[in-house]
Amino acid sequence: MHKFANPTRFFKACDVVYPWIILLSLSALCLGLYFSLVQSPVDYQQGDTVRIMYVHVPAAWMSMMCYLIMALSCGSSLIWKHAIAFSIARSTAPIGATFTFLALVTGSLWGKPMWGTWWVWDARLTSVLILFFLYIGFITLYHSFDDRSRGAKAASILALVGAINLPIIKFSVDWWNTLHQPASVVKLSGPAIHTSMLTPLFVMAFAYICFYFWILIIRLKAASNLTKIRAFEARQINIETELD
Amino acid sequence: MKPKNKRLSLIVATMTALAASVALILVAFEDNVVFFYSPSDLLKKRPGPTQKLRIGGLVKKDSIKREPGVTEVSFEVTDLNNSVPVVFNGILPDLFREEQGVVAEGRYREQLFYATQILAKHDEQYMPPEVAESLKKSGKWKGPVELEK
């Protein structure tokens, strides 16, 4: 793993993976949407409304996976000072924030017809809202320092502190009475979702994961190019001032 | 100790301390974190007649009563140990059914819960109608999983 800390090698690997990840993401998305919106059965309680699950649940999973990746990258950037680690965290933050936003919005749209409310302050919903604010806080904190390395350090610490929210989100539905139902898929006794619904859900989740890596690679390359441009411009200014 | 090992142990120690304190805070504030009380909790707590709170459980079988011509509905919320009678005047959510999860917000006075809002709480099981039918037929239907424990 440590050998990919070398930026040249890392970006070379990204270039190899990039076209495949786009192909996988798009094909899984087409397949997943067809399965979840057309092929899969209605639910015995919720009818067609259950189809919101196929966009909501993967978005909620991704909101937590992105944060985990972000926190781990921040940790390794603080401890081992890997060159790419913080860049991964910084590039992941807006993607994770978007997935969290998507999970909150689709959850709200699902809550109104099924629960009878757009929003309640129960432990699950509130902890996910906090997750969204953590992402926003991370992005804002990084940009509020003139010195980029200090901003990176402060934001990394925030990301690590906020990681405590992840187990709270996951287990909120078990620890406290909530309006949100307990976990259906990731639990000890096995999934409580019928296979005909579980398969499209996993295909959609796979599409979301590939989509994340697709966008991540674009953002990482853009960030690396921006650093190069800044360094080049700084050199230009130095040369000009020397000529004056 | 090498600087990077020092940083590693510092972060691990800080995270552990932080997690422990958050856990303590959450345990201390448990009463504020729960979204609703069960009927048994309610009977134990004996809230004042003006205190607004939520109770949750299952809608008891054969307990839903509607008078013809009015929108008022009464039913019982049960946790399979105790049950509390509820009256409500308003729009019920689609998933409001007998033996289904429900959360009622309102006030409890004189052994009656006056609800101002009713929310439906569904369980974590998802399946096609045919599967639910055949489970019921074969007697493998699990019913209200959460509350049986």
Smallest Cα distance from A179 to chain B, Å: 6
Per the CB < 8 Å rule, is B126 touching A197? yes
Q: A123 to each of A129, A179, B18, B32, B117, how far by Cα in Å?
A: 10, 9, 20, 10, 19
Residues of A in contact with B124 (CB under 8 A): 181-184, 192
Sign of the dihedral through C-alpha A213, A215, A221, A226: negative
Residues of A in contact with B123 (CB under 8 A): 181-182, 192
Residue B124 has pLDDT above 90, yes or no: no
Residue A62 has pLDDT above 90, yes or no: yes
Nearest CA in chain B to A40: B128
Per the CB < 8 Å rule, is B124 touching A194? no
Express each pLDDT in A31-53 by its tens digit.
999 999 999 999 988 889 999 99
Express each pLDDT in B86-97 by its tens digit.
999 988 888 888
Residue A8 has pLDDT above 90, yes or no: no
User: Are B121 and A179 in contact, with CB atoms under 8 Å apart?
Assistant: yes
Per the CB < 8 Å rule, is B129 touching A113? no
Residue partners of B135: CB distance under 8 A and separation at least 6:
B127, B141, B142
Residue A2 has pLDDT above 70, yes or no: no
Smallest Cα distance from A242 to chain B, Å: 39
Give the torsion through C-alpha atoms of A205, A209, A211, A214, to 10 deg.
-170
Express each pLDDT in A175-202 by its tens digit.
998 999 998 888 888 888 999 999 999 9
Per the CB < 8 Å rule, is A181 touching B118? no
Residue B23 has pLDDT above 80, yes or no: yes
Nearest CA in chain B to A195: B127
Q: What is the ipTM of this complex?
A: 0.84
Express each pLDDT in A150-180 by its tens digit.
999 999 999 999 999 999 999 999 999 899 9
Give the torsion through C-alpha atoms of A21, A4, A7, A82, to 10 deg.
120
- pTM to 2 decimal places: 0.90
